[in-house]
Amino acid sequence: MKNTITRRKFLATVGLGAGAAALAACGAPTAAAPAKGPAGAPATASGKLEIFSWWTNGGEVDGLNAMYDIYKKSYPGVEIINAAIAGGSGAGGNAKAVLKTRMLGGDPPDSFQVHLGRELIDTWAVADKMENLNDLYKSEGWNDSFPPGVIALASDKGNAYSVPVNIHRSNVIWYNTKLFGQIGQNAAPATWDEYFSIAEKLKAKGIPMAAMSGSGAGFQGHEFENIALATLGYDGYMGLFSGATSWGDAKIKSSFETLKKMLDYSVPNYAALDWGATDPLVVEGKAASDIMGDWTNGFYKSKNFTDWGWAPAPGTKGIFLALSDSFGLPKGVKNKDNVINWLKLCGSKAGQDAFNPLKGSIPARKDADLSKYDSYQKQAISDFATNKIAGSIVHGAAAKESFVNDYNNVIAEFVTTKDVAGAHQKLVDAAKVAGYK
Ligand code: GAL
């Protein structure tokens, strides 16, 4: 069972470890329960269902709407309130700020988008803000449908707290084939050396290699975790969270040097651009490439953009940097029954196979209908099963939210100051506060 081994490594990344995986696997029913969609539920359901997310861009919004459509067909009497909030620092920064205010103020949305791993567990489950979903996992057969490693990321002490709707890969370089074609380049760079040699050739033609954002935090942190993964290698990167690697490591420092160099080949006005402005730069031919997660695949689809190629981000072949979006049931919601039906849909094969082909991600379930997925996604499904799995920092899987915020802020500031030693020291200080080495 090679999948179990790689997914255990994903667990180790987020500090859960193989014991938790075994626990999650042991909880599985002996006979596979059929995966139930929402179809059998009472059509008489009424009232509202408020779904909170930061999905407002092309691709993600299409995936969300595809799930809403299924829900509305099953429960025509329920009014869905789409409480999506765009923009902000970090991935979903504005949404997360509003979410925090509402959760702490006793006004939780019926269900909200939350990253599997440390974000779900440390921010919400441990704080006792979420209902335990063990019964739903049993009745829907999810202990069999999801890989044990994914279940463990949704769980704390053997109790499940949310339903994963996808798996995203965050270490991908996307490139505009027409712009690369202008310098006779027909493949993505496999290493950072190759990246800069392509970047130099493009620069000579006045084409920026990199889409970049300098306004708000998060995008730069995403670039940095990709560089650090390549520079430290899989074990070194994993060690940042287990304590085996020090954040003071010279390779972290050299990752800052690489990011600094990348800025020399970025779109010149990046200081004014926010996260959402980066994908369009490649589509519009204003930047040749973008190191981003595979929501970019969903975005390209939504724009009917086809002149693109991809590869694992430089130096990260064989590693799948992963994150997962999920939905849960906050304590004290107004429309609990409607949420349960929403969660059933999120975890169902029908829901995941409607959502993910548009979102750009792959399903969290093991039984996807492959015919619904594009060639990028088929490769991602295969890579997720065979690659080493590491967790993303920026997207909530690997590290707790307080550290993610500090990390994002340090790296965003660095993009302005370009002070390698100063930024490295600040990151080391933040890591210490978070209990890392
Ligand atoms: C990630 C999220 C993705 C996508 C992305 C866009 O954090 O998991 O689903 O929304 O942000 O910035």
Q: Which residues pair with 266 in a beta bridge?
A: 210
Look at residue 30 in the predicted model and tell me its pLDDT: 28
pTM strictly above 0.75: yes
**Closest to 346 (Cα-Cα) out of 160, 188, 108:** 160
Look at residue 24 in the predicted model and tell me its pLDDT: 27
213 and 329 co-located in one domain: no
297 and 216 co-located in one domain: yes
Nearest protein CA to atom 11 of ligand 1, as residue: 91
- Beta-carbon contacts of residue 289 (< 8 Å; ≥ 6 apart): 173, 174, 175, 176, 180, 188, 209, 210, 211, 282
* Residue 40, domain member (yes or no): yes
* Residue 311, domain member (yes or no): yes
Task: State both tokens at 387.
Answer: 């690659």
Look at residue 363 in the predicted model and tell me its pLDDT: 98
Domain that holds residue 210: 169-321+394-433
* Residue 20, domain member (yes or no): no
348 and 419 co-located in one domain: no
Indicate the residue type of 200.
E
Say if residues 48 and 78 touch (Cβ distance below 8 Å).
yes
323 lines ligand 1 (CB under 6 A): yes
Cα 61-65-69 angle, rounded to 5 deg: 175
Q: What are phi and psi of 418, to 5 degrees?
A: 60, 25
* Residue 238, domain member (yes or no): yes
216 and 338 co-located in one domain: no
Specify the 3-state DSSP secondary structure of 102.
helix
60 lines ligand 1 (CB under 6 A): yes
219 and 302 co-located in one domain: yes
Report pLDDT digits (tens) over 239-270: 999 999 999 999 999 999 999 999 999 999 99
Choosing from 386, 404, 422, the residue where a domain stops is 386
195 and 243 co-located in one domain: yes
Encode the chain (437 residues) as per-residue pLDDT tens digits. Answer: 333 334 444 444 433 333 222 222 232 222 333 334 444 455 689 999 999 999 999 999 999 999 999 999 999 999 999 999 998 777 888 999 999 999 999 999 999 999 999 999 999 999 999 999 999 999 999 999 999 999 999 999 999 999 999 999 999 999 999 999 999 999 999 999 999 999 999 999 999 999 999 998 999 999 999 999 999 999 999 999 999 999 999 999 999 999 999 999 999 999 999 999 999 999 999 999 999 999 999 999 999 999 999 999 999 999 999 999 999 999 999 999 999 999 999 999 999 999 999 999 999 999 999 999 999 999 999 999 999 999 999 999 999 999 999 999 999 999 999 999 999 999 999 999 999 99
Domain count for the chain, please give it: 2
* Residue 12, domain member (yes or no): no
Nearest protein CA to atom 4 of ligand 1, as residue: 295
* Residue 365, domain member (yes or no): yes
226 and 311 co-located in one domain: yes
Nearest protein CA to atom 10 of ligand 1, as residue: 55
Residue in 55, 295, 296, 392 to alter for ligand 1 test, most ligand atoms within 8 A of Cβ: 295
203 and 240 co-located in one domain: yes
Look at residue 88 in the predicted model and tell me its pLDDT: 74
* Gap between the Cα atoms of 321 and 310, Å rounded: 15
99 and 155 co-located in one domain: yes
Look at residue 87 in the predicted model and tell me its pLDDT: 80
Specify the 3-state DSSP secondary structure of 366.
coil
311 and 180 co-located in one domain: yes
395 lines ligand 1 (CB under 6 A): yes
* Residue 2, domain member (yes or no): no
* d(CA 195, ligand 1 centre) in Å: 25
45 and 147 co-located in one domain: yes
222 lines ligand 1 (CB under 6 A): no
* d(CA 295, ligand 1 centre) in Å: 7
Q: What CATH number has the domain bearing residue 105? A: 3.40.190.10
Nearest protein CA to atom 1 of ligand 1, as residue: 91
Nearest protein CA to atom 5 of ligand 1, as residue: 91
168 lines ligand 1 (CB under 6 A): yes
Nearest atom in ligand 1 to 276's CA: 12
* Residue 3, domain member (yes or no): no
401 and 274 co-located in one domain: yes
295 lines ligand 1 (CB under 6 A): yes
Residue in 51, 56, 60, 291 to alter for ligand 1 test, most ligand atoms within 8 A of Cβ: 60
Distance of CA 332 to the CA centre of its chain: 27
